[in-house]
Structure 1
Amino acid sequence: MNSKRSNAQRLRDALEDDIINGRRTPGERLDAEALCREFDVSRTPVREAIQQLVASGLVTVVPKKGTFVSKVGLDQLIEMFEVMAELEGMCGRLAARRISEDELVALREAMERCEAAAKVGDTDEYYYENEGFHHAIYAASHNGFLADEARQLKQRLKPYRRLQLQVRQRMGRSLAEHREILDAIEGGDAGSAERLMRDHVLIQGERFSDFVASVRRFEACPEDTA
């Protein structure tokens, strides 16, 4: 695991991977003390990781019963990705029109960090540098409300976006899409920036099939009846 990330981040990522890949099934109870022992961490990062997993919809806290792995509906996930694509497209369009020179420098630097992570083949590191690239575009939109909404939904979809990057060759394609987005924003081409950002996030075509295949096993697990 990458030492640059906090214990809470590393624990959250590990639990996300376990849930998404079926190693922890819907209805399974997450015991805080057991997680402390398993990951050799204190209760604080466990509590923070659980809060983040609740925010992303992967786990549910049931009063007086405990914390359980949730059942994820594929239809809802697709709907959220559709909304995310539209928000990202708006951010790209506004950024192409409004980005400052300093913000353009920050975006280029974020792109360089994405390239470095992709070069060593680290999908998790690429994911976090990818976040920096997108957040730089949000900031350049100069629309605080839009940026907040995009960040919140992106966080909700984080486990599934990380999962996408594990699909063979997806990281390389994502990086190529970043280059096109950067070129459009640099050139002030608002229409292209909007379309490229939207297509970058939207799950369609082969990506849709890959995504469905990745989630289907998890969705098919029996729902908790407790």
Structure 2
Amino acid sequence: MRISDKLREKIEEQIATGELPPGCALDEAMLVEAHGVSRTPVREALIQLASDGLIEIRPRRGAVVASIGPARLIEMFEVMAELEAMCGRLAARRMTEDERSNLRAAYKACEVARAAQDTDSYFYCNEQFHAAIYAGSHNKFLCEQAFQLQRRLRPYRRLQLRVRKRMGVSLKEHKSILRFITAADADSAAIALREHVVVQGERFGDLLASLAELAPVATN
């Protein structure tokens, strides 16, 4: 893996965990010093992060972690929900037995993380669960679009797991999704995934409350 790719993943992870909150400035010189690399891979990493929509590069002001308004955020989750529903529908019809086994293993890993009340581990296991569904759709273009938007929403999907009881609810929803996909029930799988991902009602209010906690940090 190239140095710039490793650095991009590291910065992406810091954004996802809230270590680099929305509005945080990304100074090239500081990144060079912090990661012990030259300016070239830093610039390449920032360009890639900007293309993914995770940061914004502003003329004469440098790079900052992107901020999304509530209206835009709900629109993005709506699209993500539809992409996941499409993946689930196709996965229920097309998954091989090995791919179903991978999905079951990802669900079991989520169970372990939930039992340990480890939100970080659950977040990564959750990503593996969804990635298994994307792969099972056997539609490369759909997978590419789903992964691209997933990366863009990664910090916000992670914030959702901080909400009390959300991890347990998520696991129950995973159980239903797993059941429908392994039973080749395409329509039910699509509905379950759409409802699992879309953010509305109380869930949207909870997400906004979590975002508000980051606001003072983002304005420093």
- Classify the TM-score, shorter chain: 0.7 to 0.9
Query: 1:13 aligns to what?
Result: 13
Per-residue deviation, 1:133: 0.7
Structure 1: gaps of 5 or more residues: 1-5
In the other structure, the counterpart of 2:114 is 118
Per the alignment, do residues 209 and 49 of structure 1 end up closer, same or farther by CA in structure 2, a change over 3 Å counting? Answer: farther
Q: 1:208 aligns with which of 194, 204, 208?
A: 204
TM-score (norm 1): 0.80
SS of equivalent residue, structure 2 residue 35: coil
| Offset at residue 50 of structure 1 (A) | 4.0
| Aligned match of 1:144 | 140
CA distance in 1, matches of 2:118, 2:7: 18
Is 1:174 aligned to residue 170 of structure 2? yes
Gaps of 5+ in 2: 1-5
1:41 pairs with 35, 45, 64, which one?
35
Alignment of 1:71-82 (within 5 A): 71-82=67-78
Partner of 2:3: none
CA deviation vs aligned residue, 1:72-128 (integer Å, no higher than 9, x gap): 221111101001101111111111111111111111111122222222222222111
The alpha-carbon deviation at position 169 of structure 1 amounts to 1.4
Comparing 86-95 with 64-73, greater Cα deviation is found at: 64-73
Aligned partner of 1:91 in structure 2 is: 87
Deviates more, 1:137-146 or 1:119-128: 119-128
Alpha-carbon distance in structure 2 between the residues aligned to 1:165 and 1:42: 33
Instruction: Answer yes or no: is the 8 Å Cα contact 1:73–1:219 preserved in 2.
Output: no
Distance 1:131 1:105 in 2: 16
Conserved? CA contact 1:181–1:197, under 8 Å:
yes
Secondary structure class of the residue paired with 2:64: strand
Number of corresponding residues: 211
CA deviation vs aligned residue, 1:182-226 (integer Å, no higher than 9, x gap): 011111111110110000000022111111222356679999xxx
* Structure 1 range deviating more: 68-77 or 47-56: 47-56
Change (3 A) 1:15 1:80: closer
Once the two structures are superposed, the pairs formed by residues 52-67 of structure 1 within 5 Å of their partners are: 53-67=49-63
**Correspondences of 1:99-118 after superposition (within 5 Å):** 99-118=95-114
Indicate how the Cα distance of structure 1 residues 165 and 33 shifts in structure 2: closer, same or farther if over 3 A, else same.
Answer: same
Identity %: 49
Question: In 1, distance between residues paired with 2:182 and 2:105?
Answer: 13
Whole-Å separation in 1 of the counterparts to 2:217 and 2:105: 42
